[in-house]
Chain A
């Protein structure tokens, strides 16, 4: 019976079906994992207070968020070095984010379920997001102004909220002054220095030039002093207020308000409050600069860098890809050579991306960039301008990488256009170029669009070549800003994919950074899945359209 059943081949069919199911489960699983972890990061979780007693010690209080748990069978726990009683079958442990890195030295702590005496979620526990040392967990004691207590006990909380809003406004002003205004002055001074050097190199460094540069420098200096004075008063204001809080162990900690990003009491928040908190956090994530070695705050520079790079790349890859495809399909004589070229183009799609990175670094950065520097920027040598990895080279390298995608897709689109349409146009007396420009290309434009979208999706997710030609973990300035010439192609930039690699693997505090990496990964997945879906939809519509035309 069983033998017969096996002979019928039915089990093999089922096994094949199982392979498909497994693949689907894997896809859904990975997307789901990224989704759940990424989305969950911003939700304010409850802060729990444990009363915890380690063997032979006094009970202690632990305050923190539960992050993870693990269940270990007794035998394994024993081999891992835990003491297990005979009747215990499993060892349950929780990973608690206890924060207060400045006090305890670590952010996280494993505790054992069996040693927990009591747990509660007191309403007055507060979480402080700080600009350094990570989160703080504890209770608010008082708010001070210039050393004098402003409010304490229950009244402290509303006062604190008001003062924090004030501090944040000042902080924004300071950031604006430091980054924008003073940044512009520094940039201007640097340009003046280069101008001077240039003039010296060209032997035009005469009295007039000297005076002009000196007067411009003086103007910058005046402005700079003015901003310095403003900054000094702002700093004085922001440092006036301090909060005093109590940690889990009862120690009192003073936190100046200029170090505070946000304070909240998750246990007393309503669902509505939590949703607002969540939205605020998501907005912060998308629009703010990173803090604390990229492990906190937002990823705006990475988003911006990715978009800039992808846009530059599209501008480069589209015309070249389309021209190559038009040449292959419309102008070249079909035969051995075109076949060879097609194989080469297909092949190129399979060449490892890191090889493109190596090529980009050697050819674009060192050879092209080095020569551009020699020719056009002698004043800044030996510091390289284009002779170092940067946005321009990254874009060109990725354009080369995605060229096959655009060529193949455009060719496919061109091939689908019935020849009757071309012949009709030619018969009406249009030249070849007019036929191409007025009838063929417009009809093939969705195909080009598909190709471009696929190219963009590939480029957005590619990391390996970028590591060689222009991505950095933290770029001090964006490639686009208010300083002339506004678009700085030579600058290095941040990238979402590299951000994931860097924060997830190179950061000093991987455990603390992990939720942020999941959130970044989620964003990247959403962008790429979205782009791919768009390409698929466009392609399907296109097919329908031509089916109708041919019919």
Chain B
């Protein structure tokens, strides 16, 4: 810098004296050049920082909590038409619906509370509405009214979206999916105090409770080949179950399982797949003694049940097969929602989240899998009457006893992910026990995506471990020999050749590993193990025999050519290992080693497994480790080794006691950088493993690494979805991994350089 200053000053002086335009132009160019380069240089370095910041920026929204905002509060529309039994919002958060206990359906504007449409449900004269229930979301807004005369009316609210003048217009209407005529559920005309319904494409069912019986009526739609109209076949049965205390009836959307819930928490599970003979398959108490069930609902997908009690607890119960392959309801997790009774549970329709409203008017939004409490807000001050969450889970309505409806919007984009769900065991629905699972996509939204990064990190480390197991001995021993024992003439060729191997595209190594090496290893597994034992033994035996060669021959061959001499030995012994392994294998293991592992030890064998990856990736990592370690060993100051030798140490003693110790930080940094490369390698693992995200230590099993996972799933993930952000998180984790390894290595290397220069 000082040099530059002097130069600038001198040329300024020159400039003043001469005063030429040309001189000034040169100076302008010089400073423009300087600023250009400084700006460009810093810009490039800044661009590098941007990578890290951008990854953080994408990942960050995963971990922020959700927000809720009050938008409006208004009086219940048409409050004279009865008390609210059910509230609903449609997809666009524009139109809400209110069903009343008088059989009125009131559609209103969600924003302002103004009535848009009022329809009365046709209820036969002389009968009263005594029960009400909502069908599952697949029924698309179907609800059922149970009447005092043993009949039921099924109604459905629906919305038509049109775009007159390019403005969206939503027109609500009601429909009777099973016909306007009430359906007779109980012939004798007893009141239906509790009722539940599902309306499916083929099967629809009504389950209703009269004073002492539970009735199941199902309707099978059969489309005959010739007739245009579908024929309804009706089956009626009465369940063999004490109906006295049944407080809640739930049918899953497949119409296979029927849950009957008592006030005091007794849960009965019926298998109603065969509608003519429902069987009780499980019964259990689901809440603590002394508490009462205050609300219940299916979680989206209808695979598990949420039960809220008077103590403010919401527990999630899922049907799980136990060890004996019987179905049992298992309590997967519990949320402490409030100290008061949980009055309503509203599941989200697209995710495994739910909303609760407690007796004091607190609204909570939770996500089951990640066990996160996303929102907890006091929405209304008096006790709530009804609540609704919109299909996209971005708005909610709560009606309170004081006759007001509150409309809030929610911003809750990524509830599925929490530190816990990423790294710890999670008990997923229908799983027998908590587990680490990566399963980012499924056929439909009934099954939750399972984002556990643990199996991927495990796979990454497993692959890296086996790669290092192969690479470290070969690379480090090779480095020691090349740097210290090999003649310089040979070193001149050997070092670049091995380094060149590092430049080979990994896609080629992966291809060879997957299509050439994997079948060979599968066939000659025993040969490979024999190779590991026989080749070193042969080398030592050859070395031992070598010293007995006549002195005259030995003198002709200069030192440092051992490597070249050994090449035929290695080839021959490797060939020998493979030939001898075949009969040996047959003799020792009575067939193939692979089968033996399977039958005797129960270890399965995947063709593309960690062993193949270890060898192929080891191959890719060898040059990195070799090159850096060799540099470190080679640049150990000569006076140290010469001194050691002069004191009478043998070359090997000098090697282990002086050279290796001095160079050990360099060797360590070589290993670190190699590890960094093994962790981030993509193509080899992508091609040489089955890419199954299993957590299995066995060397014969496949794996899936973070990098391969990104390469496989990134192109298919939707921008800004949770999956997309989780993949960015995986990239960030990889980035951090390698960043730490490399920085460590780099700092150690710089220290070492300083040490050498001081020696």
Interface residues of A (CB under 8 A from B): 2, 5, 8-27, 30, 33-34, 70, 73, 75-76, 79, 319-321, 323-324, 326-328, 330-333, 339, 341, 343-348, 350-359, 361-363, 366, 400, 403, 407, 423, 426, 429, 431-434, 436-437, 457-458, 460-464, 467-468, 497-498, 500-501, 504-505, 510, 514, 517, 521, 524-525, 528-529, 532-533, 536
B504 with A30: CB separation less than 8 A:
yes
Contact indicator per residue, chain B 638-655, by CB within 8 Å of chain A (1) or not (0): 000000000000111101
- The answer for the CA separation of A498 and B563 in the assembled complex, in Å, is 37
Decide yes or no whether B280 CB sits under 8 A from chain A.
no
Q: Would you give the shortest CB distance from B686 to chain A, in whole angstroms?
A: 8
B505 with A15: CB separation less than 8 A:
no
| Given A20-B486, A24-B494, A431-B501 contact (CB < 8 Å) | no
Decide yes or no whether B583 CB sits under 8 A from chain A.
yes
Known: A27-B497, A351-B739. 5 other contacts (CB 8 A): A9-B652, A16-B480, A76-B582, A323-B41, A432-B34
- A–B complex contacts, Cβ < 8 Å, 27 sampled: A14-B566, A17-B562, A18-B477, A18-B539, A19-B475, A19-B476, A20-B482, A23-B474, A24-B497, A30-B512, A327-B44, A347-B746, A350-B680, A350-B741, A351-B739, A351-B742, A400-B51, A407-B44, A431-B11, A432-B30, A432-B33, A432-B34, A433-B34, A505-B511, A505-B687, A524-B507, A529-B504
Q: Would you give the shortest CB distance from A214 to chain B, in whole angstroms?
A: 26
A352 with B562: CB separation less than 8 A:
no
Interface residues of B in 496-554 (CB under 8 A from A): 496-498, 500-501, 503-512, 514-516, 523, 535-536, 539-540, 542-544, 546-547
Chain B's closest residue to A18 (CB) is: B539
B44 with A320: CB separation less than 8 A:
yes
- The answer for the CA separation of A517 and B511 in the assembled complex, in Å, is 9
B37 with A345: CB separation less than 8 A:
no
What residues of chain B lie closer than 8 Å to A343, measured between beta carbons?
743, 746-747, 750
| Given A24-B567, A30-B512, A324-B44, A350-B677 contact (CB < 8 Å) | yes
- The answer for the CA separation of A30 and B746 in the assembled complex, in Å, is 31
A13 with B651: CB separation less than 8 A:
yes
Decide yes or no whether B124 CB sits under 8 A from chain A.
no
What residues of chain A lie closer than 8 Å to B178, measured between beta carbons?
none
| Given A73-B582, A359-B55, A434-B30, A331-B37 contact (CB < 8 Å) | yes
- When the two chains form the complex, which single residue of B55, B500, B511, B734 contacts A501, counting CB atoms closer than 8 Å? B511
Main secondary structure of the interface of A (DSSP, over half): helix
A76 with B514: CB separation less than 8 A:
no
A468 with B715: CB separation less than 8 A:
yes
B498 with A23: CB separation less than 8 A:
yes
Contact indicator per residue, chain B 588-621, by CB within 8 Å of chain A (1) or not (0): 0011100100000000000000000000000100
- The answer for the CA separation of A112 and B688 in the assembled complex, in Å, is 30
Interface residues of B (CB under 8 A from A): 1, 3-4, 7-8, 11, 14, 26-27, 29-30, 33-34, 36-38, 40-42, 44-45, 47-51, 54-55, 58, 473-478, 480-482, 485-486, 494, 496-498, 500-501, 503-512, 514-516, 523, 535-536, 539-540, 542-544, 546-547, 562-564, 566-567, 569-571, 582-583, 586, 590-592, 595, 619, 622, 626, 650-653, 655-656, 673, 676-677, 679-683, 686-687, 707, 710-711, 714-715, 719, 727-728, 731, 734-735, 738-739, 741-743, 746-747, 750
B505 with A460: CB separation less than 8 A:
yes
Chain A's closest residue to B715 (CB) is: A468
What residues of chain B lie closer than 8 Å to A468, measured between beta carbons?
710-711, 714-715
- The answer for the CA separation of A22 and B478 in the assembled complex, in Å, is 9
What residues of chain A lie closer than 8 Å to B743, measured between beta carbons?
343, 347
What residues of chain A lie closer than 8 Å to B536, measured between beta carbons?
15, 18
What residues of chain B lie closer than 8 Å to A461, measured between beta carbons?
503-508
What residues of chain A lie closer than 8 Å to B655, measured between beta carbons?
9
Q: Would you give the shortest CB distance from B433 to chain A, in whole angstroms?
A: 33
B652 with A463: CB separation less than 8 A:
no
B34 with A15: CB separation less than 8 A:
no
B562 with A326: CB separation less than 8 A:
no
- The answer for the CA separation of A467 and B751 in the assembled complex, in Å, is 39
